[in-house]
Structure 1
């Protein structure tokens, strides 16, 4: 039986794939979507607002705590409850991210003026994580309350939350410049921000000066507000010119050091005590690094390090000898540990919550002051509306008081007392509603004198607000008055408001030469095939029999001294620097070389030799490319080494003589002058020899007048004095090697 066609079987226009598919270039599609993501990251996640100095997550946390009525004088609430409310109502992201952000607002070693008062384990300067949110409690601080003062007075705009069921403030009123006082950091797409904390008293003084002199120079503002004030204290070692330039451009690099003092132990002995460490440095990692320096003897003048910290910081550094200069010892430690760090200043903020911009100090202060003026005008307008509504009711109450008996009679006998009262007394609907909603007990308070006194008081307040709204000079006077009140609460009169970070010019203390502190002794360095390295005291014969692990054997042996730097050349084209005094002793079987340097497992060690400053080296790849590099250009400063040769490396040779002999895997030999090779610090190099098949097998620096020598299979030295047959331009093929040349194509 044939099925009857149904109208639902017909193709619907909105289901037609051809109509729902839009064709556009892939670059445009990806570009538009990535731009949307980038803008979202910049505006709603990473960059703070210049007006209140907060990111959306921090703003939502404070607002949610305010809605929970967690005032500074009230009770604490579980952090899990707070982060749950923030996530459910305003910030639909992970609760762990919200809790971490809230914990940061409560950490006194991160925030100069904490905005959350935490109860429980909220982490420590050692780097410990906060306890789980179910174990900790929190409430707002006075500083957070000052940031939100005026929210109930229409001070700022509100917007719907993520699901449209509630509203949240776009920005907080911010009674003080929180952006500068507490700082901010964040990484967006293509931009980042890093603003240090500052002293509130100094920042407010700078704002007051900018109100008084809108065209104030950056130098004047910097004289009032000289630089950062970190919650962990420390010493900022920068001159005034560097700081001025950093705050003028919004970018700069500032050196921050630990605060230390010499403690006299009597009888000429002493120790150094560190009482303040740089901002955002974890004390446990700092102690670990200092202990590693002692263990590896990288700072020979440092004998021991102890952490005697309790609630305060006390790190004890013991010198190796009493004759050491403490300043020179600290200068050496500043170079190799986080006792000195660099803070990268980058004042990249959102202006008006929309436009990211790297601002100068003056621009940041101006953005805050303009915001405070807008908040003042909005609060004044809101208060004027409230006064107007109250005055209207007071006028109605006065009319009711003067005609109280008639009002009572109308209410008792009239069916529609509202209309009668409006017609008879000329009252508005709001006034009549207020009179009718009045309780009987309030009638005894309807005294004409009190009503008129309140009306006069509100009228005077209205006149003052109208004059304020109309006169910019009065507005700035009012803003200055409010800032002075905030300064009185959180400024230098409060012990927590005293400056903690000392700012001083750089000290030109030359650190001790660590190499000069190492006792110079001869050693024989042995590297096994499996990569185990050790140093035997004295210059032993290089062919002496040495014990190795099972399955292992000798690879390299060389004579050096404990003051030498050993250069390790890997097949990845990197040079690694290894101090000879850090090598394990010869009593054992050594330690893995790859634990001392970051040499990949798939990169073999090609050569190792003592570094000399005046030497030059030839580096060459398997493909037959190479160049000459100077010794200072191969010296590495870190475990990761220094990339010199790009490509698969084959060999490194010390430059000697005047010619270079190259032999390929095809047994073709080529000799050309070393002057044809370029000197480079890094790169691929130039073609040494041309190959039809295979690549480079070996190379050797020679003196042409002496000739070319090699070892035959029997161990005898063979020499070819006349090299005319193989002499040619660099990059040519060459000719077959002379009779008797080794079959492995190596010069040995």
Structure 2
């Protein structure tokens, strides 16, 4: 990176070569690009809420006379003017920005009135700009109000042939009203739209009470107001924190209601979707969930939208609760979406920074005050110029005959008038330009009246320029007038997004997201797992890989969790719907769980709500654990049974009786009451049986009324008639098994 880079800036002239280290050249040029992206493309100005391309579009349309009362003009004309005069980028970027300003589902208050195809909420793009027409809306025109009265600073355009406003006057807080989104280099902005009437109320409060705190502002501006409506389910505390820091998010859900279709049937009608979520994408996703059986509560979806949104969701059965159906879809689809807020804007000095809600409102108000002062100064200059002319005309009326004589007889009447009456060059020109028919008494009276009115207005303007209090009073009056346009009594101003609390207490089972179907889970000796469809009792025809064979199986459902207990004392849980299909040979279970090759699976079961199991190590220690304690949905599992030395998990069996029988590798049998075992969630447990040699081999729970029995490899039952002779306290050594007991030493063959 330390290599030297020679830059020939003259296209071949060796006298213009710049000798500079490559890393420094790259750093300086990339910094220029980054700053240009931040300040000239991606971030909006806190004062008018516009990015440069949007500002140039609004200004150019104002210059073209495209106010709300004018006729539409081709968008090609608008794009051409913006690109030729102001914007040093391509036509597509300009037209895309113009289209977005006209879409009532993209901006809360459209600044452009579009005629033609400007796209739709389904994501369809607008027609080419040679087919569409546009003009400013009344709200868009408010941003330009005062731009011709020196209300803002102008700067040179990129071609240095013209001037453009550095910021628009902006009669209302457009930044928060319409929001903004942009990605720059190393930073981004994401500002949700808000209700303009509420923002203006907050501004009026800050004018009246500059020290108002955030809680008072949030009482007036409770949250965003998205153009597509919806229901904001973010907590009040989270919303306040977002406005206090300038960073946060707003969780929004679709608006829906239940439509009764008779005979106990119903359907859900979605009328509003979350902001910036394409309706067609939601429908496609819902249809995909139905096809893949990932939304078992949903039977069908139809899009019956015309001008208004109407999505019809049919439940799979009438027994489904509407709230359960919608909660499942909120979790699975974009019917619930989160809009992140990052109030990163350019301040009045052009520096990017993250502002709070109150800071944004105060920055707008300060801009509003500066515009009022600038317009007052402009009007004052106009009044002074007019008063100068009026005073000259009054001189002419007072000396009318002599003025006419000078004009008729003098070769240079202008110079003589200036000398004779001590008037200025401007006043002399005004006298000479006056028509003879205007030299009548009525005209003199009108001039005197106008002179009087302008002087009175001048007094008021001078007072306003010198008094900050009067400036804020004028700002309040103007905001009050503008608020009438955004009144909540109008369709445009009425709040669209409402607030509600998410139903935290509504818990959904796995059945809300997975179709319930019976399966039979098989685990092979070499650790390959698969799920056969249905309840398969005869597994003799199941095929395995060469050298592999049957190990464990369990009948379950796709909504169940399948628990695997390993020889290292850990328990793992797998979702029944995520298991490999039984059409093939399955997959190694170690792909789903972190289990070393030196350990094996000793038990596989479906946890029961009130189920309990004995877990015991080969060392003879164990305890009773609930099924739920073993159902850890983690790849690393949960360490349930703590093991010493070379001990391994020997027994995992359900507690199904009041008695427990254990047998050791030394073929000694011990029976004791199962209540002597502790109930634990994790640990080593207590000693079940004492051994001099070997360890625990097998265990069995049974009801004392049924008696103790063991089963051979054929499944035949063999009772132990004198089983009570083996009853003793837990941790005893036990007695030798009865004659004829299983040759393997286990209770099951």
Report the TM-score when normalising by structure 2. 0.73
Cα 1:14–1:267 change in 2 (3 A) is: closer
Separation in 1 of the partners of 2:210 and 2:297?
54
Mapping of residues 326-345 of structure 1, within 5 Å? 326-345=322-341
Structure 2 counterpart of 1:167, from 163, 167, 170? 163
- Deviations along 1:655-711, one digit per CA (max 9) or x if unpaired, are 999899xxxxxxxxxxx9999xxxxxxxxxxxxxxxxxxxxxxxxxxxx989xxxxx
Structure 1 residue aligned with 2:486: 490
Separation in 1 of the partners of 2:694 and 2:88?
81
User: Please, which moves more after superposition, 257-266 or 13-22?
Assistant: 13-22
Structure 2 residue aligned with 1:56: 52
Mapping of residues 703-742 of structure 1, within 5 Å? none
Mapping of residues 71-86 of structure 1, within 5 Å? 71-86=67-82
Structure 2 residue aligned with 1:226: 222
Separation in 2 of the partners of 1:468 and 1:19?
56
3-state secondary structure, aligned to 1:246: helix
- Deviations along 1:111-164, one digit per CA (max 9) or x if unpaired, are 111000000110111111111111111110000110110011000010111101
Measured after TM superposition, the shift of residue 399 of structure 1 is 0.7
Structure 2 residue aligned with 1:350: 346
3-state secondary structure, aligned to 1:618: coil
- Deviations along 1:697-736, one digit per CA (max 9) or x if unpaired, are xxxxxxx989xxxxxxxxxxxxxxxxxxxxxxxxxxxxxx
> Is the counterpart of residue 618 in structure 1 residue 599 in structure 2?
no
Structure 1 counterpart of 2:392, from 389, 392, 396? 396
Separation in 1 of the partners of 2:587 and 2:319?
43
Unaligned runs of 5+ in 1: 1-12, 528-532, 548-553, 568-576, 594-604, 621-629, 636-643, 645-651, 661-671, 676-703, 707-748
Structure 1 residue aligned with 2:461: 465
3-state secondary structure, aligned to 1:21: strand
Measured after TM superposition, the shift of residue 262 of structure 1 is 1.3
Cα 1:466–1:321 change in 2 (3 A) is: same
Measured after TM superposition, the shift of residue 56 of structure 1 is 0.2
Cα 1:544–1:430 change in 2 (3 A) is: same
CA contact (8 A) 1:275 1:314 kept: yes
Measured after TM superposition, the shift of residue 578 of structure 1 is 9.5
Cα 1:453–1:126 change in 2 (3 A) is: same
Structure 2 residue aligned with 1:281: 277
Structure 1 residue aligned with 2:233: 237
CA contact (8 A) 2:143 2:171 kept: yes
Cα 1:293–1:248 change in 2 (3 A) is: same
3-state secondary structure, aligned to 1:22: strand
Structure 1 residue aligned with 2:266: 270
User: Please, which moves more after superposition, 370-379 or 437-446?
Assistant: 437-446
> Is the counterpart of residue 607 in structure 1 residue 603 in structure 2?
no
Cα 1:609–1:322 change in 2 (3 A) is: farther
Structure 2 residue aligned with 1:108: 104
Cα 1:154–1:176 change in 2 (3 A) is: same
* Pairwise CA RMSD: 3.9
CA contact (8 A) 1:156 1:171 kept: yes
Measured after TM superposition, the shift of residue 370 of structure 1 is 0.3
Structure 2 counterpart of 1:202, from 198, 202, 226? 198
Structure 2 counterpart of 1:451, from 447, 452, 475? 447
- Deviations along 1:154-187, one digit per CA (max 9) or x if unpaired, are 0001011110111110000000000010001111
User: Please, which moves more after superposition, 279-288 or 298-307?
Assistant: 298-307
Cα 1:397–1:228 change in 2 (3 A) is: same
Separation in 2 of the partners of 1:535 and 1:256?
40
- Deviations along 1:615-671, one digit per CA (max 9) or x if unpaired, are 762389xxxxxxxxx995756xxxxxxxx9xxxxxxx9x9999899xxxxxxxxxxx
Structure 2 counterpart of 1:139, from 131, 135, 142? 135
Structure 2 counterpart of 1:20, from 6, 17, 21? 17
Cα 1:252–1:416 change in 2 (3 A) is: same
Q: Which has the larger radius of gyration?
A: 2
Measured after TM superposition, the shift of residue 93 of structure 1 is 1.1
Cα 1:541–1:94 change in 2 (3 A) is: farther
Separation in 1 of the partners of 2:54 and 2:417?
53
Report the TM-score when normalising by structure 1. 0.73
> Is the counterpart of residue 521 in structure 1 residue 499 in structure 2?
no
User: Please, which moves more after superposition, 426-435 or 486-495?
Assistant: 486-495
Measured after TM superposition, the shift of residue 557 of structure 1 is 12
3-state secondary structure, aligned to 2:314: strand
CA contact (8 A) 1:193 1:348 kept: yes
Separation in 1 of the partners of 2:259 and 2:276?
26
CA contact (8 A) 2:418 2:428 kept: yes
Mapping of residues 368-407 of structure 1, within 5 Å? 368-407=364-403
> Is the counterpart of residue 414 in structure 1 residue 395 in structure 2?
no
Structure 2 residue aligned with 1:719: none
CA contact (8 A) 2:520 2:531 kept: no
Measured after TM superposition, the shift of residue 515 of structure 1 is 3.7
- Deviations along 1:456-511, one digit per CA (max 9) or x if unpaired, are 00000000101111111111010000000000112223221011110123322424
3-state secondary structure, aligned to 1:464: helix
Unaligned runs of 5+ in 2: 1-9, 525-529, 564-572, 599-629, 650-692, 696-749
